[in-house]
Structure 1
Amino acid sequence: MASKDNQGSGAFIRSESAFRNFIFPDSNAPFPAEKGRYALTSIVRILKGLENIIDLYELHPSMGPKGWYFSGEGSSLPVDPLYGFKYLPDLYKKADPSFTGPFTVPMLWDKKTHTVVNNESSEIIRMLTTAFDHLLPEHLREVNRPGGGLYPKHLQSSIDEVNSWVYNLINNGVYKTGFATTQQAYDANLYPLFEGLDRVEQLLSSPAPSDGGSPETKSRKYLLGDNLTETDVRSNAFKE
């Protein structure tokens, strides 16, 4: 998952995701959107109604000595149902025998070409949001969802902007503080983390943007208004 820098500062450095391919709604694409072809773990799969289109293979909720694994406990499968593997690194090795890690989740797997499509969570979210719409019933497609879906055109620039600082200050910030091995590294990242949390609170406490016809409400339910967007999924920040 991570590495430490070579300067002895004790700072957490997140490793870059190694598999960065994309699924497109084009039958000629290297990874076309097809029903039953892909497998992963993701909340967006449920939000988008993709349960019958993308398989879900759950691992044990915590890592073991060899990393993420299938245990058969709780909702975890006993083994990987495709190849009978017990450990997630075995799937990565099947995709690329020379791959040395990190062996992270979520991971989007292509059952046809027997390889990893992508293991960067933000890119998987974006793919699930848009690539499979043509395979869904009309009422589940982005354009017919409240507010225009998880990544509506009129909010795309705002979503991208908020995603950027949420990732840097919060998503990555909790790792930078939690895995810091020196007090200096911890202090250097603690204040930016709380800055990000304060910005989220300010957004949720501010009036929802007017739609041009209705008055502004006292406060918004989600980060960018009264409808769920990709930003809320990535930050897990919204009011109940």
Structure 2
Amino acid sequence: MTTPNGMTAQEFARGRFVRQGNRFTDLITADGRSGYPAEPGRYRLFVSYACPWAHRTLIVRRLLGLEDAIGVGVVDPIRDERGWRFPDHDPVTKAVFLSELYLASDPSFDGRYTVPCVWDTVNGRLVTNDYPAITTTMETEFTALHRPGAPDLYPEALRPEIDELNDLVYSTVNNGVYKAGFATSQEAYEEAFDALFATLDQLEERLSTRRYLLGDALTEADVRLYPTLARFDAVYYSHFKCNLRRLTDYPNLWGYARDLYSIPAFGETTNFDHIKRHYYGTHPNINPTGIVPKGPLIDWTAPHGRENLSAG
């Protein structure tokens, strides 16, 4: 049974939003030991431009130059009780709804049909919808297919620090906005709200002396934070009631977000039309009229002035 938001009833236990677990968690490996070798042209990544978890897979695919190696299928931003739908149909799998691919892979699946997910065109099944692993798989298992000079987004020496920061950001920021927006009790909402802004305050301080979260080079940590920042003022501030401060009220976070947006892999995969139409149009218990606001008017291309920050 699902709620009007498409979330299972269990996800609203005690007024707190609990995200559904990932059903498909097979691994794609460089040596093929998993049965899914990292071969060019074999896999198809399904995304929504509206979804922050999917957005970060598009960013990494672009940064690493994997556009020719990993195909992409994009769903329509408006999702109904049938789940994500392709604007016409997916030209590779011929599916009209993403649910068709989930049920082809597991006919007993009864959860939400989520993006991002990766389809194996050889075996005709989903390999993974494990969104935290999809980007790190691209970074560590597809290295032979990276473009020359591609950044090392998940350097081995920094992985413990990246993972620790990612855990905090996921719990309180990436998923924290959802915990606030989908809370059904005042206590759960305020708990998520307070944790969100406590972490944003920490990140604001962290970015006062360094250009990126881990210093002077982009990492997986930046990729994971950015999609939430990109959606913050347009959606989360009002729609999810995360309204203590706007992103534009944080000098360092706002400059950092614009710095990332200026990189084509970030900016050119940021689709504010899809983002706003999805959030405001698919949560009837939060926005029953379905009206999509015209604002806010924000200049993401304004100079950010962060080029000369040290590594911290």
Measured against the shorter chain, the TM-score band is: 0.7 to 0.9
Deviation of 1:184 (Å): 2.0
Give the C-alpha shift of residue 3 in structure 1: 3.3
Pick one of 199, 219, 222 that aligns with 1:229: 219
* Matches of 1:36 and 1:46, distance apart in 2: 15
The question of whether the paired residues in 2 share the 8 Å contact of 1:122 and 1:234 is answered with: no
Q: Which residue of 1 aligns with 2:234?
A: none
Higher relative contact order (CA 8 A, sep 6+): 2
Q: Is the 8 A contact 2:16 2:179 kept in 1?
A: yes
Q: Which of the pair is proportionally richer in helix? A: 2
Q: CA deviation at 1:29?
A: 3.0
Corresponding residue of 1:187 = 190
Cα deviation digits, residues 67-116 of structure 1 (max 9, x gap): 11111xxxxxx202233211111110111111112210001111111111
Q: Distance in 1 between matches of 2:147 and 2:182?
A: 44
Alignment match, 2:78: 62
Amino acid at match of 1:163: N
**CA 1:37/1:187 → structure 2, altered by over 3 Å: closer, same or farther?**
same
- 8 Å Cα contact 1:169/1:192 also seen in 2: yes
Shift of 1:128: 0.7
Out of 81-90 and 17-26, give the one that drifted further: 81-90
C-alpha distance in structure 2 between counterparts of 1:83 and 1:46, whole Å: 23
Contact between 2:66 and 2:147, CA under 8 Å: does it hold in 1? no
User: Which structure 2 residues correspond to residues 22-33 of structure 1 after superposition, within 5 A?
Assistant: 22-33=27-38
Superposed CA offset, 1:108-146 (max 9, x none): 111111111111211001001111111334433xxxx3x
- Alpha carbons of 1:187 and 1:31: their partners in 2 closer, same or farther (altered >3 Å)? same
CA distance in 2, matches of 1:221, 1:137: 24
1:45 corresponds, among 29, 41, 61, to: 61
For 1:6 and 1:162, locate their aligned partners in 2 and report how far apart those are by CA, in whole Å. 25
The answer for the alignment partner of 1:215 in structure 2 is none
For 1:160 and 1:19, how far apart are their aligned partners in 2? 22
Change (3 A) 1:11 1:83: same
Shift of 1:22: 1.0
Alpha-carbon separation, structure 2, partners of 1:29 and 1:182: 43
Q: CA RMSD in A?
A: 1.8
Write the distance in 2 (CA, Å) between the matches of 1:5 and 1:95.
24
Map of 1:1-240 to 2, 5 A cutoff?
2-5=7-10, 9-40=14-45, 41=47, 42-43=57-58, 44-71=60-87, 78-140=88-150, 145=151, 149-205=152-208, 219-236=209-226, 239=256, 240=259
CA pair 27-120 structure 1, distance change in 2 beyond 3 A: closer
CA contact (8 A) 2:11 2:20 kept: no
**Distance across 2 between alignment mates of 1:132 and 1:8:** 39
Structure 2: runs of 5+ lacking an equivalent = 1-5, 48-56, 230-252, 260-312
Q: How many residues are aligned here? A: 214
Same amino acid, percent of matched pairs: 41
What SS does the aligned partner of 1:68 have? Answer: coil
CA contact (8 A) 2:27 2:34 kept: no
Q: Residue 292 of structure 2 corresponds to which residue in structure 1?
A: none
**Any conservation in 2 of the 1:3–1:13 contact (CA below 8 Å)?**
no
Q: Give the secondary-structure state (helix, strand or coil) at the position aligned to 2:126.
A: strand
SS at match of 1:221: coil
Aligned pair in 2 of structure 1 residues 170, 112: CA closer, same or farther (>3 Å)?
Answer: same
Give the deviation of 1:65 after TM superposition.
Answer: 3.2
User: Could you say what secondary structure the match of 2:127 adopts?
Assistant: strand
| One-letter code aligned to 1:119 | N
How far apart are residue 191 of structure 1 and its match? 0.6
Q: Distance in 1 between matches of 2:98 and 2:104?
A: 10
Normalised to the residue count of structure 2, the TM-score between the two structures is 0.65
Distance 1:27 1:181 in 2: 45
CA distance in 2, matches of 1:220, 1:102: 39
